[in-house]
Amino acid sequence: MSESLDYRAAGVDLNTYEETMARLPPLMRRTFSPRVMEWKDGFAGLFRLDDQIGLLSRRYRDPIMVASTDGVGTKLKVAVATGRHGTVGIDLVAMSVNDCLCAGAEPLIFLDYVAMSRDDPALTAEIVKGISDGCIEAECSLIGGETAILPEFYQPGEYDLAGFCLGVVDRKQIVDGKDIRRGDKVIGLASSGLHSNGYSLARKIVERSGLALDARVEALGRTVGEELLAPTRIYTRPLKTIRRNYRVKKTIHGIAHITGGGLIDNPPRVLPEGLSIRLERGSWQIPPVFRWLQALGGVSDPEMFRVFNMGIGLVLIVAEYYADSIVRHLNQKAGVPAWIIGEVIPGGREVQWA
């Protein structure tokens, strides 16, 4: 007679899973606003859409829900190789939240999905701590998620992440690109580095160079691993300061998150028919990591600008009259470097270069 089996023998230890689950609620609660409704032992998270608590109460006349989802991609390979997992959760939040911001939305809630081959309470807590850090920066609440233990699905020590953001915007405040017109200015907000795109190419370049992840590179001022794990910038607070000081629909006509596809493919997505964007080379500061990778891998300029963000993480298309003022505001009050990097011209929904 064969030996009897249980879940632990199959690769899932429920006692360890319970230990993991006990570590997560405090990390979630630190992101809560008064709009989160506690539901002890519930199967879903609850969030109050209208908030009538205190001076910062919110009421939506015609609320439209805005949703996005994303992951971190092969940047996780760098986290696993270096044993540093504390910031990839920030990347996870940023990739979805920044997409929601492009509609003019206020991020409200975030959900995560963490999958690994074997339950590891310390690792899961480290990852979720990073997710909660990202939610605090994004001013949204982590109200739920899923930790999936999938034996034999991932290599030992590896894991995958997915994130889901839900936001809201009043219908009349949706930023959908329809107001973009010839002569509008293109403002670029600085990225913090590679963000979470192009890592299959970046990792291949480093691998072929023979450099170790703990090798210090003078051009970068830190190790290869530190540079590759720099967390993605979250743009909630910079855009919030603009909403406080400008009438959004009158000033901001389009917003593009510069992710996969870079500055070539992303900005045209918000353009109406008959218009293009002309970007001016040299109008912003390109962080050293991009030129370092380009030289190390012999990558062409067109490929670099299509794969990586090249130092611009978010693009605003704004009315010409307000462009200089918004750039000053971003630099002086919002704490993010910004430049006028181009303008809207007649064309066929593409990026041209000056």
pLDDT above 50 for 219: yes
b/e code 41-80 from CB counts within 10 Å (16+ = b): eeeebebeeeeeeeeeeeeeeeebebebebbbbebbebbe
Q: Which two tokens stand for residue 128?
A: 């979720």
Q: Which helix (H) or strand (E) holds 179?
A: none
User: What mean pLDDT is reported for the chain?
Assistant: 92
Alpha carbons 317 and 217: distance in angstroms, whole number: 36
pLDDT above 80 for 42: no
**Per-residue model confidence (pLDDT) at position 103:** 96
Alpha carbons 186 and 178: distance in angstroms, whole number: 15
CB atoms within 10 A of CB 304: 21
The stretch 138-163 carries a mean pLDDT of: 93
pLDDT above 60 for 302: yes
User: Directed axis angle between helix 14-29 and helix 121-138, to 10°?
Assistant: 20
**Hey, what domains does the chain have and what are their CATH numbers?**
14-173 (3.30.1330.10), 185-353 (3.90.650.10)
> Contact 262/305 with Cβ under 8 angstroms?
yes
**Per-residue model confidence (pLDDT) at position 2:** 63
Task: Kindly report which listed range (8-12, 211-215, 325-329) carries the lowest average pLDDT score.
Answer: 8-12
pLDDT above 90 for 199: yes
**Per-residue model confidence (pLDDT) at position 55:** 46
Q: What amino acid occupies position 1? A: M
Over pLDDT 90: what percentage of the chain? 76
pLDDT above 90 for 167: yes
Q: Which helix (H) or strand (E) holds 139?
A: none
Strands (DSSP E) contained in 286-330 are: 312-318
Q: In residues, how long is the chain?
A: 354
Instruction: Tell me the β-bridge partners of 196.
Output: none
**Per-residue model confidence (pLDDT) at position 61:** 85
Pick from 14-28, 237-251, 291-305 the range whose average pLDDT is largest: 291-305
Give the tens place of pLDDT for each residue, 48-80.
887 665 545 567 889 999 999 999 999 999 999
Give the tens place of pLDDT for each residue, 75-130.
999 999 999 999 999 999 999 999 999 999 999 999 999 999 998 999 999 999 99
Alpha carbons 74 and 120: distance in angstroms, whole number: 20
pTM score, two decimals? 0.93
**Per-residue model confidence (pLDDT) at position 245:** 87
The SS3 of residue 207 is helix
**DSSP labels for 145-157?**
EEEEE-TTTS-TT
Residue 37 main-chain phi, psi, to 5 deg: -105, 120
